[in-house]
Structure 1
Amino acid sequence: MEYTSGSSSWRRAVGRAVGILRPRRRAGRSLGWSVGVPAIMVAAGVLFTTSANIASGTDLREDRRPQMAQVITEQQARIAEEQATASRLRTEVDDLTGNLAGSDTPIAQARAQAEARRRAAGLTALKGPGLTVRLNDAPASAGNSRPDGATNDDLVVHQQDVQSVVNALWAGGAEAMTIMGVRIISTSAVRCVGNTILLEGQVYSPPFVIKAIGDPSRLHAALDAEPGVRAFQDAVRDYGLGYQVVSESEIVAPAYTGSTDLTHAEVAR
């Protein structure tokens, strides 16, 4: 390449150098793509910077399970405190109503009618013969071995297993029932939380103990006739889950202390 003297030659040389450094638009490449890539890079930089500022040196993906466990524990304590308060207030109401019933005939009549219905509603303590049913997860085996084809779900007690036992005992004429010592009534809900159950705001781990007051022979027959219970018995045989039924000469069922508000109901067909 030959350079000549003069300012025009230097201008042409500089222009060629700038042209080499300037990015050229390729055939078929849109202007939007050329502008979009830098914009995305700028946005990504802003996001990285924001994340770093928020984290302040901590791990944003830190395991939150310990905090969740603490929240559950705190809520359980709050529920227990509120249940104790509710029980104390019910006792005060009953005492005041009893005092008024001695001098007020309409109140005495209403109290007598209510007392007649409290037993059927599960609001009074009962005792009598019945059955104790115990459901348990399969025991952990050495080396974490398990039956062929078994999954984790096959080795634990599920919500439907507890519900099948409860439904069978009601069908067998149970007069009163408890789960883990907590009185349940016809509107009580049993829910699974992992391999635990949630009952009246409290979490219980297996083994799950269900007690029912009633004729032991009828209760036994109702359990054997319930399809869900038979399916659980098959799992007991195949996977080693725990199932035990014991006749009791006396079972004590405390009064139900949960909410009696009914929000929805429909006629059974």
Structure 2
Amino acid sequence: MSDDERALGGYSSEAGRNAHEADAPTLIPVPSLLRSLLSDHLDPGYAAARTRPQRGRLADWSWQLCAGLVVAAVFAAAVAQAQSVAPAAVETQHVLADGVRSAEQSTRDATGRRDALATEVEDERRTRLEGDAEGRGLLAGLDTAEFAAGATGVRGPGLAVVVTEPDTARDLSDVSKQRVEGSRQIILDRDLQLAVNSLWAAGAEAVSVGGVRIGPNVTIRQAGGGMLVDNQPIVSPYEILAVGPPKGMHDVFEHSPGLARLRLLETSYGVGVTVTESDGLTLPASTVRDVIFAKGPPQ
């Protein structure tokens, strides 16, 4: 096949002409699609690439090799930098963790000393006031006020309400199953607040949540994914203890809005809710804070 024929896709330049008739019209050759498919096995672009000079291909390979070496060098430098920085990061984490543990220990020591001094003050006060009738009257008034403020520990019968977050294996990826968008947490601070208020309404004389006594200026709040009671973190399962008449409180609490919400969470999200009566609950004393009153100018 000549070069002219190859340029026409494998067809002769005389194709379509009548060579036996004089003055016959000149016809434009029409290539055959079937003949093109059978004769040309490579696209023209591939054919041109096949005939490219060897030197051009070597140049292309050289550029690709250089690019690969540059990428490898960048990754090697990144790995070396990460390895050099990792020990410093680990050391910083250890220093911070040691600082946190030291601060926690200092807090525990200070709390223990405060409690010991408070006990000494209480003993000295009772020793001085129990000597006469007027002092005993003052002590009775102080005991009543301290109990109302949650400043004294309490032990007695009552109700134990335990609320547990659902199992993490439960599928909550669907937005419709999330109480807070983008969070897997189901039990919120307002749920515990409503349960505590319902226990007060049911006749509780003292209440604690997660081992923290509920009293004046004590709040139940949420910070991110953590639950705070009096600024102390508590975790699931959340234990709510209420000292009071067990049977009477149980009957009222069963029909309260607090338990109704917990039962709804139990049905909808798999939250664990248990309510049991107990004869020996122990509630700690609450932290007593100074209450400051503001008084406006006289009218």
Whether TM exceeds 0.5 here: the answer is: yes
Kept after mapping to 2: 8 A contact 1:101/1:108: yes
SS of 2:203's equivalent? coil
Asked which structure has the greater CA Rg, the reply is: 2
**Structure 2 residue 148 is matched with structure 1 residue 120:** yes
Q: Judging changes above 3 Å, is the alpha-carbon distance between structure 1 residues 139 and 247 closer, same or farther for their aligned structure 2 residues?
A: same
Q: Provide the alpha-carbon RMSD of the alignment.
A: 3.4
- Whole-Å separation in 2 of the counterparts to 1:67 and 1:230: 47
Q: How does 1:21-32 map to 2 (within 5 A)?
A: none
Q: Judging changes above 3 Å, is the alpha-carbon distance between structure 1 residues 100 and 138 closer, same or farther for their aligned structure 2 residues?
A: same
1:220 equivalent among 247, 250, 262: 250
Letter in structure 2 aligned against 1:88: A
Normalising by structure 1, what TM-score?
0.62
**Structure 2 residue 168 is matched with structure 1 residue 140:** yes
SS of 1:124's equivalent? coil
Show the counterpart of 2:200: 170
Show the counterpart of 2:290: 261
Q: In the TM superposition, what is the alpha-carbon distance from 1:240 to its structure 2 partner?
A: 0.9
Q: Could you tell which deviates more after superposition, 95-104 or 85-94?
A: 95-104
Q: In the TM superposition, what is the alpha-carbon distance from 1:228 to its structure 2 partner?
A: 4.7
What are the ranges of 5 or more consecutive residues in structure 1 without an aligned counterpart? 1-56
Q: In the TM superposition, what is the alpha-carbon distance from 1:209 to its structure 2 partner?
A: 0.4
- Whole-Å separation in 1 of the counterparts to 2:102 and 2:260: 39
Q: How does 1:78-227 map to 2 (within 5 A)?
A: 78-101=106-129, 107-141=135-169, 145-146=171-172, 148=174, 149-151=176-178, 153=183, 155-227=185-257
Higher RCO, Cα 8 Å, sep 6+? 1
Kept after mapping to 2: 8 A contact 1:147/1:239: no
Q: In the TM superposition, what is the alpha-carbon distance from 1:189 to its structure 2 partner?
A: 1.2
Normalising by structure 2, what TM-score?
0.57
Q: In the TM superposition, what is the alpha-carbon distance from 1:130 to its structure 2 partner?
A: 1.4
Q: Judging changes above 3 Å, is the alpha-carbon distance between structure 1 residues 104 and 136 closer, same or farther for their aligned structure 2 residues?
A: same
Letter in structure 1 aligned against 2:197: N
Q: Judging changes above 3 Å, is the alpha-carbon distance between structure 1 residues 161 and 250 closer, same or farther for their aligned structure 2 residues?
A: same
Q: Judging changes above 3 Å, is the alpha-carbon distance between structure 1 residues 96 and 228 closer, same or farther for their aligned structure 2 residues?
A: closer
Percent identity for Structure 1 against Structure 2: 25
SS of 2:277's equivalent? strand
Kept after mapping to 2: 8 A contact 1:158/1:192: yes
CA distances 1:110-166 after superposition (whole Å, capped 9, x unpaired): 33431343333333333322111111111021xx63375323546432111111111
Letter in structure 2 aligned against 1:220: H
Kept after mapping to 2: 8 A contact 1:137/1:156: yes
Q: Judging changes above 3 Å, is the alpha-carbon distance between structure 1 residues 231 and 67 closer, same or farther for their aligned structure 2 residues?
A: farther
What are the ranges of 5 or more consecutive residues in structure 2 without an aligned counterpart? 1-83, 295-299
